[in-house]
Amino acid sequence: MDFLGLELNSSIKNGLSEAMDSGRFPHAAVIEGGSHSDRLKLARLLAASSVCNGKGEKPCLVCSSCLKSFAAAAGKKKPVLKALEDNLRHPDIAEVEKEKDRVQFGVRVVRPVIENAYIVPNEADLKVYIFPDAGVMTAQAQNAMLKILEEPPGYIRFFLLCESRNSLLTTVLSRVACFNLGAVQPETSSRSKKPELARQAAAKLARAITAPRDYDLLIETAVFEKDNQLLELSLAELELIIRDALVVKSGGELLSSSPDAAKVLAKALPVPRLLNLAEEVRKLDDAVKRSCNNTLLISRLCSRLRA
């Protein structure tokens, strides 16, 4: 495999080359670590190599697929590396972006991608989907992908990009190969710490809902005062915890990253109250997307969740 001057450590280069050259590249790979831009460039290079129909080292840069992938930059090494900064223009390579006004991306984005993935490639032997922000994929969205990750059509390659594999469900990780680009670049690290902060905040909210004192909920909501994005992420996670609490009562697979908090809720509250809570959280979630007045939202959250 030709890395076109992309700077990577030799062990990851060897691992990727071996997988690509032997034709045994995994159908789904997580690329973690490094910077957002490094992950994306590598995924695009691997995508171009996947659809390349040249005989020798890939990407060959001269076959009809490579000409499409690299459009204006074909044939020359440096402009090609530059071309990796932009979307590749091959009909069998797609980058799946989250909806612009959302901090996470959910099942609404993922479902059509999965449906599309069952349709054979347009012209290449393989069809590639890159998820540049897999780290902010909701648990429901990840869950929706389990079946296709478990039994993918033979022509599929998924690249899931994230700062850390810890942002993905273990059920997803058990079905993919992971490539680590090394230490996360500091300039992007606050971006991905947020989902983890939201998971912690949601677990605390869940416990505060059934705490003996009203005051506990007020304390846990203080972190949202100046952070609308954290509030939105935390509500999404809280919705999952409440859903899990209902699952605890009826049986099934838990999806949230705080099963203990879900069990506490399940023990403390009857089903009708949990359903009512889920509805309230969903309404608050809608309100967060429409308003930036966090003080108002937080007081609404405190009064509705403790009812």
Residue whose CB is less far from Zn ion, 121 or 259: 121
Residue whose CB is less far from Zn ion, 34 or 59: 59
Residue whose CB is less far from Zn ion, 60 or 93: 60
| Distance in Å, CB of 37 to Zn ion, minimum | 23
- Nearest-angstrom CA–CA distance, 130 and 247: 32
What is the rounded (10 degree) CA torsion for 147, 153, 157, 159?
A: -10
Beta carbons within 8 Å of 72's beta carbon, 6+ residues apart: 79, 83
Residue whose CB is less far from Zn ion, 60 or 238: 60
| Distance in Å, CB of 78 to Zn ion, minimum | 18
The tokens for 219 are: 């304390």
Task: Please give the C-alpha separations between residue 170 and each of 28, 165, 267, in angstroms, as whole numbers.
Answer: 14, 9, 25
Residue whose CB is less far from Zn ion, 93 or 238: 93
| Distance in Å, CB of 39 to Zn ion, minimum | 22
Residue whose CB is less far from Zn ion, 63 or 274: 63
Residue whose CB is less far from Zn ion, 47 or 205: 47
- Are 138 and 105 in contact, with CB atoms under 8 Å apart? yes
| Distance in Å, CB of 67 to Zn ion, minimum | 8
Cβ-based burial of 286 (10 A; exposed 0-12, middle 13-18, buried ≥19): exposed
| Distance in Å, CB of 120 to Zn ion, minimum | 20
| Distance in Å, CB of 27 to Zn ion, minimum | 20
| Distance in Å, CB of 69 to Zn ion, minimum | 8
The tokens for 200 are: 């912690």
Binding site for Zn ion (CB under 5 A): 52, 54, 59-60, 63, 66
